[in-house]
């Protein structure tokens, strides 16, 4: 899980406008799965040393969302959703 945390933190290296936080319980299971899978499938991901299969990566992201280490945000300017490290959301405020 630590490697994924590093990935989510590293992903937000560029400054972005703050998005609207989306509560997990407001999403259907299918919507949440789609957002997590799209996030995991992005190029340039760093999961640390070793190989991780797709299912494992998705589980790690879901675990971070469940614990609040990461959040789902919606950017109305681009009409897109993203997953960000919670610390990144605090920095953007």
Query: Cα(86)–Cα(34) distance, rounded to whole angstroms?
Result: 20
Strands 80-85 and 20-22: unpaired
CB 36 within 8 A of CB 83: yes
Please report, in tens digits, the pLDDT of each residue of the chain (93 residues total).
444 444 444 444 445 556 899 999 999 999 999 999 999 988 655 666 777 788 988 999 999 999 999 999 999 888 989 999 887 655 555
pLDDT number for residue 3: 44
pLDDT value, residue 8: 46
Helix, strand, coil percentages for the chain (3-state, nearest 5): 50, 15, 35
Architecture in CATH for domain 2-92: Orthogonal Bundle (1.10)
């Amino acid at each position: 899980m630590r490697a994924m945390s590093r990935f989510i933190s590293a992903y937000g290296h560029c400054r972005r406008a703050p998005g609207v936080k989306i509560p997990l319980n407001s999403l259907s299971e299918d919507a949440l799965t789609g957002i997590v899978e799209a996030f995991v499938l992005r190029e340039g991901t760093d999961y640390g040393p070793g190989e991780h299969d797709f299912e494992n990566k998705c589980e790690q992201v879901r675990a971070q969302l469940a614990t609040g280490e990461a959040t789902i945000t919606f950017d109305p300017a681009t009409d897109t959703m993203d997953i960000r490290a919670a610390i990144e959301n605090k920095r953007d405020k």
